[in-house]
Amino acid sequence: MLVLSRKKGESIVIQDQIEITILSVDGDTVKVGISAPKHVDIFRKEVYLSIQEANRESAAPQQSDLNALLHRLRGLGNQD
User: Does the pLDDT value for residue 11 go beyond 90?
Assistant: yes
What is the residue-averaged pLDDT of the chain? 90
pLDDT tens digit sequence for 47-62 = 999 999 999 888 877 7
What is residue 67's predicted lDDT score, i.e. its pLDDT?
Answer: 81
What is residue 46's predicted lDDT score, i.e. its pLDDT?
Answer: 97
Per-residue CA distances from 35 to 15, 29, 56 (Å): 12, 20, 29
**Rounded distance between C-alpha atoms, residue 27 and residue 43, angstroms:** 23
**Rounded distance between C-alpha atoms, residue 45 and residue 49, angstroms:** 6
Determine contact, residues 4/22, Cβ cutoff 8 Å.
no
pLDDT tens digit sequence for 12-48 = 999 999 999 999 999 999 999 999 999 999 999 999 9
- The vertex-56 CA angle with 60 and 64, nearest 5°, equals 25
Q: pTM for this structure?
A: 0.66
